[in-house]
């Protein structure tokens, strides 16, 4: 019998890769997305074409397309009938937007996640909540040697036992951590097979990244079009980036071996890269040198995080797309879809 999954935020960047993967695996897939444009408002290309791009792509794959808001529990419940799994990727993802509109941040990330969990409880189906490494706060100790292009730390990788909510936190930090607490409560009290995935540095095709979120794609898009790149801080901030195709595989692996808990989902030390190193990689692939503008570091930004993914490996997570391959794929997609961005260049 064919399995069925509902993906909240299915027309978002990561959600679209989840829908694509499960569809290719033979699942019936429902994309549940409100199709808002707020996360694209400062990109310079937040047009109808960019917002509808993933909708049209998924529709061509045979995904069931539903326009709906996770803040409406009744609508969500109706659409999960017959589902075997919920992948919850819908979110307010940007720290800057959380400063400007904390009510939107709360209602989407906390109330929305609560509704998803209630539906999972009523349907008695597994659910994965997409969280973020932002819950660790922004006071991870790391050093910067003179002349280095990235931060360093010993040990390099950081496990889930690291203290959370340390340093200066934003509404986004608070909403993501609150959502995780609800996930644990529903697992502990109701026996739901539920997990939270703390993602870091997701990138890949179909990502319309901007300065608010999606920094790898933002640098790639602006580099292709010959636009200056803006960095807040030194540019030596360091992450372990992960291609969205690997990210999507993590959900499928969890469904096959659902061990409730909290998991770091990233590329680990093999995918460690700083902002400046990423820009250099993009420039080398394109064969061009980019203009970089430096501005003051933003409050709440994290200077270093590289995931320890030992726990996620226990349910089968295994990232395989290295940064050079993944960034090359992203750049080829941007170049093939230039007209969608509506950027002169």
Q: Where are the domains of the chain?
A: 4-340
Per residue in 17-49, pLDDT (tens digit) is 999 999 999 999 999 999 976 666 666 665 677
CA distance 109 to 89: 10
Mean predicted lDDT score pLDDT of the chain:
93
Rounded Cα gap, residues 24 and 297, in angstroms: 42
Burial (CB count <10 Å: 0-12, 13-18, 19+), residue 26 = exposed
CA distances 266 to 242, 249, 344, Å, are: 5, 12, 34
Which of 3.40.50.720, 1.10.510.10, 3.60.70.12, 3.50.50.60 would CATH assign to domain 4-340?
3.40.50.720
3-class secondary structure per residue, 134-155: HHHECCCCCECCCCCCCCECCC
Strands (E), the chain: 4-8, 28-33, 64-67, 85-88, 127-132, 194-199, 202-203, 229-232, 238-240, 242-243, 261-265, 272-274, 292-295, 304-305
pLDDT confidence of residue 41: 63
Burial of residue 141 (CB within 10 Å: 0-12, 13-18, 19+) is exposed
Q: What is the mean pLDDT of residues 61-75?
A: 96
What is the rounded average pLDDT of the residues 338-343? 84
pLDDT of amino acid 298: 80
Contact yes or no for 186/250 (Cβ under 8 A) = no
Residue 209's pLDDT is 77
The whole model's pTM is what? 0.94
Structure token pair of residue 122: 């009523």
Residue 143 CB coordination number (10 Å): 10
Q: Determine the pLDDT at residue 140.
A: 85
Which regions of 21-126 does DSSP assign to beta strands (E)? 28-33, 64-67, 85-88
pLDDT score recorded for residue 138 = 82
Residue 236: pLDDT over 70: yes
How many whole angstroms separate alpha carbon 328 and alpha carbon 345? 20
For residues 273 and 239, the answer to whether their CB atoms sit within 8 Å is yes
């Amino acid at each position: 019998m064919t399995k069925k999954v509902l993906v909240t935020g299915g027309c978002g960047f990561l959600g679209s890769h989840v829908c694509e993967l499960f569809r290719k695996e033979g699942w019936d897939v429902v994309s549940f997305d409100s199709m808002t444009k707020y996360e694209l408002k400062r990109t310079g290309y937040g047009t109808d074409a960019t917002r509808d791009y993933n909708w049209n792509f998924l529709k061509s794959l045979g995904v069931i397309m539903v326009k709906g808001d996770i803040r409406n529990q009744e609508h969500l419940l109706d659409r999960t009938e017959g589902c075997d799994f919920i992948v919850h990727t819908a979110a307010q993802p940007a720290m800057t937007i959380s400063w400007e509109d904390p009510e939107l941040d709360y209602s989407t990330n906390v109330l929305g996640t609560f509704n998803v969990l209630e539906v999972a409880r009523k349907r008695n189906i597994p659910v994965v909540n997409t969280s973020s490494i932002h819950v660790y706060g922004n006071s991870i100790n790391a050093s910067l040697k003179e002349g280095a292009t990235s931060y360093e730390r010993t040990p390099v990788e950081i496990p889930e036992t690291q203290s959370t909510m340390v340093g200066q936190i934003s509404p986004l930090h608070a909403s993501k951590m609150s959502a995780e607490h609800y996930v644990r409560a529903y697992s502990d009290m109701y026996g739901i097979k539920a997990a939270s995935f703390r993602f870091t540095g997701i990138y890949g095709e179909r990502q319309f990244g901007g300065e608010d979120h999606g920094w790898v794609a933002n640098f790639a898009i602006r580099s292709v079009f010959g636009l200056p790149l803006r960095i807040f801080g030194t540019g030596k901030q360091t992450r372990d980036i992960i291609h969205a195709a690997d990210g999507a595989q993590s959900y499928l692996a969890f469904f096959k071996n659902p061990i409730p808990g909290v998991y770091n989902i990233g590329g680990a030390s093999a995918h460690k890269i700083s902002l400046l190193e990423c820009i250099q990689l993009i420039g080398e692939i394109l064969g061009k040198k980019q203009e970089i503008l430096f501005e003051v570091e933003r409050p709440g930004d994290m200077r270093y995080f590289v995931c320890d993914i030992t726990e996620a490996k226990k349910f089968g997570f295994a990232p395989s797309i290295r940064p050079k391959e993944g960034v090359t794929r992203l750049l080829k997609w941007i170049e093939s879809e230039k007209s969608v961005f509506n950027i002169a260049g």
